[in-house]
Structure 1
Amino acid sequence: MEPDLDVAVVGAGVAGLSLAYRLRRTGLTVAVLEAAGHVGGRMASFRHAGYTVDTGAEQVPAHGYEQTWRLLRELGVPHGEVPRVGGPIAVWRDGRAHAGVADPRGLLTGAGLSPRARLDLARLLAGAARRRALFDPDRPEDTPVGLATVAELAAGYHPDVGDYQLAPVVSTFFGWDPARSAAAPFLALMLAAGPAATWRTYADGMDTLARRLAEHVDVRTGVAVREVVAGTDTALVHTDGETLTARSVVLCVPAPVAAGLYVNAPAGEREFLSACGFTPMLKVSCLLDRPLSPTSRRQLYALLVPAVERGPDDALGGLLADHVKHPSRAPAGGGLLTLLAAPAALPELLDAPDDEVVRALTGAAERYVPGLAGATVANFVHRFRHGLPEATPAALALRRGFLARPVRSVDYAGDWMMLRPSSEGAIRAGAMAAARVARLDRRKVSV
């Protein structure tokens, strides 16, 4: 009996959509099954009253994202539709914002660091740059820093380097705990991405890539997959409404979700899935009647609030001025801010009612953006229980063995496989999965 599909792709994030796009071009019958009512996953956006709100990812670097840019060219996305992010990134210290985070110019301007700390940060960056070839984002398990955590790496330098640079960046942009997260993937990613001044965004929303890919593939939204069972020649996909058979199933969902769906996953694969934890993400979008941004001598794109600067009840880890990122994010005369919950506040706030989340984050943000309450016309809360893959030392140690696993009827794709929380990691994982599906298909044909 012929299966219903050659390949069933579970999840319509960038990993699943880019995988389906590749496989469809080889002539295979492919369907993407997505539980949500829209595509994009953690690169989704929505539109409301002239505002374009990015619910997950915020920017795309110009460097180190080779496969992303190649895919954009294939899809006919003009370079002008991916403009530079407006404004620098700053860190809050001693009552004011200090610009220059994630930018070499910060070594000159200070970026919130003491002179001694600036020298130590320069030493860290220069040492990594000299050995750049050893910091391959595709092989983070092979870098010179081994299995050291971000906190362990920072301990070798002035305390400000960790407190006002490394920890705020990994906590705000990745949601990572510096004491639990491996330094190697972080350093490799930052070296590849280059200075923040070169980072870009999608003018029409961060879901641009997902929407363009979805135009070329069969996407079935509102279809929740409940269970996947691998067989010898095919696999079964159980949804709420039906059971599909496919020669291959690729789970393009966060590792914890994949572990829950794949009921007969081999023990060796489960070990890596268990090690690939995810940090949650909680954001509040503030739609404003005027373009407010953090108080600073320069108009800022992002402000990071270090843990050492937060009070015991301060739930804010950072904020983004989306109308500075790109003017298309807000209507003329308006503004849009994104407030990011601090990792320490997530256990209490993640499941709290929306109004409680809004009060906690907007109340804390008034310190950095005076007048926020009076300018706000609407708030939206965005929750991702599986927000970003956290590259732990345990996952780093197991990754090489996981990548060498045999080809089977059920496979995976996602940025967590690369220990690289980004669209580039997702697309590269999709390319790896496409190659494995092709190997499985050729093997069956030869038999």
Structure 2
Amino acid sequence: MSTDRDLDVAVVGAGVAGLTAAHELRRAGLQVRVFEAQDHVGGRMSSFRHGGFTVDRGAEQLPEQGYRATWQLLDRLGVTPEEVPRIGKALAVWRDGRAHPGLAGRFAPLTGPGLSPRALPSMARMTAWTAWHRRSFDGDHPERTAAKAATVRDFARRYHPDLHDYLLQPVAGSFFGWDTARSTVAPLLSLLLSVGPVSGWRTYHDGMDLLARRLAAGVDVDLCSEVREVVADSGGGVRVRLAGREVTARSAVLCAPAPVAARLHPGAPADESPFLSACTFTPVLKVSCLLDRPLAPPSAKPLYVLLTPRTEDDTLSAIIVDHAKHPGRAPVGKGLLTLVASPERIGAFLQAPDGEVRDRLVAAASRYVPGLRQACTAAFVHSFTHGLPEATPQALLHRRQFMDRPLRPVEYAGDWLTLRPASEAAVRAGALAASRVLARLRPRPLPRAPLSGRGAPARQDMATTPHRAVEAR
């Protein structure tokens, strides 16, 4: 392999997956550069500051369990516990004209917040089924779970209709942006089982971009540098084509949504194309409302998120109370809410002017937050065409072949690799991509197999053994 290159590794995309990959490769001593089309880092985990407000473009919480790789990365970056405080507020579901707090709480499997009394036996049956099959729900291997390729809607049909309408659909529609008839339930259940009760959820003190900013401070990032194409060359390396220039590298990591990665690397080998084609994304659209006072949906307990099921509202899927998530998101005496559009409406909203989108969502949210229209002093619309990866049965079917592909000059990273829209999936994917690049650029001799057949070394699955820097303690 030729070493006469501009870089060891070119990373395309400065989201959390790309920055994690660059961080790991830089720690290993390689020359790495990250190319980002936007003028900021963080991707879907970016924030901006305006008039004393810290506005998150996306929405992310940091559970104390189930996010092992993220916590290890934060520890290595020197992020202190004070910088990731507990949220300490409730999640609620709207039903029959009021908020029902307790969703994702410790006693939610027993109380079923938002469920009718007749649905509680079904809630108990579903809880028992997931507990019995818990070991099969591995977030790194969604195709291996006991739920197989059942969609969220098909899985819910085993139970009382409330479990779909007031539990699985609101969670899938708001946090994942999913249509329950299209996406499989396995990644959803895997995530819900891993993250624990909401009492252990945390946030980033100074905006959800804290992790991205800390990672970017230690790597070489070229902002406003849009990559047009990545081509594997005959010398075993890659050519990264940007507007008016070309960069050569020994390897490249495409840290972009699967449809974008497929477009950037049109010469992808045949064993990669089926999964890349099957990895579809749902768009995301949100409106951040800056308020002259701290309003929130009325509730028996202080809320952090109110989910609005599709059966109750066809415009909104959730209201995030950002000043309750962390007081630093808004100046003292002010408020900040994020209104999340319903997946069914986003397609039309993406074609509408921002002013119309703002007015429609504020009008819909006023039903849950009295006085919102009068208190809103400014609003910002955030949209991502490739917002959240879907977990379609087709993607689940082709995932294993993709993950078993040989090491190549062009690697991939992103939460779509595990079909799980979460920053933990992005961190793990970035570390995995880095380990694959290092294995190819710095091959190590395999351990000598024992002389007898007994005790032969087991195959190491890269999907569950990321680069050693983020392995379990």
- Using structure 2 for the length normalisation, give the TM-score: 0.91
Structure 1: distance between partners of 2:162 and 2:407: 47
Listed one character per residue, the Cα deviations across residues 188-247 of structure 1 (whole Å, up to 9, x for unaligned) are: 111001112211110111000000001110011100001111123111111013100010
Structure 1: distance between partners of 2:331 and 2:244: 41
Are positions 1:185 and 2:187 aligned together? yes
CA contact (8 A) 1:86 1:326 kept: no
Equivalence for 2:260: 257
> Secondary structure of 1:307's partner?
coil
CA contact (8 A) 1:175 1:280 kept: yes
Match of 2:69 among 59, 67, 70: 67
Structure 2: distance between partners of 1:257 and 1:89: 34
Counterpart of 2:247, as a letter, is: L
> Secondary structure of 1:301's partner?
strand
Match of 2:54 among 38, 52, 55: 52
Are positions 1:195 and 2:202 aligned together? no
Structure 1: distance between partners of 2:66 and 2:364: 35
Listed one character per residue, the Cα deviations across residues 318-338 of structure 1 (whole Å, up to 9, x for unaligned) are: 111000111111000000000
Offset, 1:62? 1.2
Equivalence for 1:269: 272
Give the 5 Å matches for 1:47-126: 47-126=49-128
CA contact (8 A) 2:23 2:219 kept: yes
Equivalence for 1:335: 335
Between Structure 1 and Structure 2, how many residues are aligned? 443
Offset, 1:250? 0.5
Are positions 1:204 and 2:206 aligned together? yes
Structure 2: distance between partners of 1:15 and 1:147: 26
Equivalence for 1:377: 377
> Secondary structure of 2:62's partner?
coil
Equivalence for 2:414: 414
Structure 1: distance between partners of 2:345 and 2:250: 44
Counterpart of 1:248, as a letter, is: S
Offset, 1:87? 1.4
Pair 239,445 (structure 1): closer, same or farther in 2 beyond 3 Å? farther
Structure 1: distance between partners of 2:237 and 2:436: 15
Structure 2: distance between partners of 1:107 and 1:115: 13
Equivalence for 2:353: 353
Offset, 1:108? 4.7
Equivalence for 1:160: 162
Offset, 1:268? 2.1
Are positions 1:236 and 2:225 aligned together? no
Match of 2:310 among 303, 307, 310: 307
Offset, 1:370? 0.8
Are positions 1:12 and 2:11 aligned together? no
Offset, 1:271? 1.0
Equivalence for 1:298: 301
> Secondary structure of 2:63's partner?
coil
Equivalence for 1:38: 40
CA contact (8 A) 2:103 2:112 kept: no
Structure 2: distance between partners of 1:154 and 1:266: 37
Structure 1: distance between partners of 2:37 and 2:188: 30
Counterpart of 1:119, as a letter, is: P
Structure 2: distance between partners of 1:105 and 1:445: 51
Counterpart of 1:353, as a letter, is: P
Counterpart of 2:375, as a letter, is: A
CA contact (8 A) 1:185 1:391 kept: yes
Give the 5 Å matches for 1:121-160: 121-160=123-162
Equivalence for 1:399: 399
Structure 2: distance between partners of 1:6 and 1:353: 43
Offset, 1:127? 2.0
Offset, 1:445? 12
Pair 420,278 (structure 1): closer, same or farther in 2 beyond 3 Å? same
Structure 2: distance between partners of 1:377 and 1:51: 12
Listed one character per residue, the Cα deviations across residues 235-272 of structure 1 (whole Å, up to 9, x for unaligned) are: 11110131000100110000010011102111221110
CA contact (8 A) 2:109 2:127 kept: no
CA contact (8 A) 1:99 1:106 kept: no
Listed one character per residue, the Cα deviations across residues 103-144 of structure 1 (whole Å, up to 9, x for unaligned) are: 242345441111221221122123212332211111111111
Counterpart of 1:425, as a letter, is: A
Counterpart of 1:433, as a letter, is: A
Offset, 1:350? 1.4
Pair 266,444 (structure 1): closer, same or farther in 2 beyond 3 Å? farther
CA contact (8 A) 1:98 1:110 kept: no
Are positions 1:279 and 2:289 aligned together? no
Q: Give the % identical residues.
A: 59
Offset, 1:287? 0.3
CA contact (8 A) 2:283 2:385 kept: yes
Counterpart of 1:421, as a letter, is: P
> Secondary structure of 1:267's partner?
coil
Pair 333,238 (structure 1): closer, same or farther in 2 beyond 3 Å? same
> Secondary structure of 1:379's partner?
strand
- Using structure 1 for the length normalisation, give the TM-score: 0.97
> Secondary structure of 1:266's partner?
coil
Structure 2: distance between partners of 1:57 and 1:422: 10
Counterpart of 1:437, as a letter, is: V
Offset, 1:81? 1.1
Structure 2: distance between partners of 1:225 and 1:3: 17
Counterpart of 1:367, as a letter, is: R
Match of 1:170 among 169, 172, 175: 172
Offset, 1:158? 0.5
Structure 1: distance between partners of 2:226 and 2:88: 38
Structure 2: distance between partners of 1:438 and 1:107: 44
Structure 1: distance between partners of 2:302 and 2:112: 17
Structure 1: distance between partners of 2:165 and 2:14: 37
Equivalence for 2:465: none
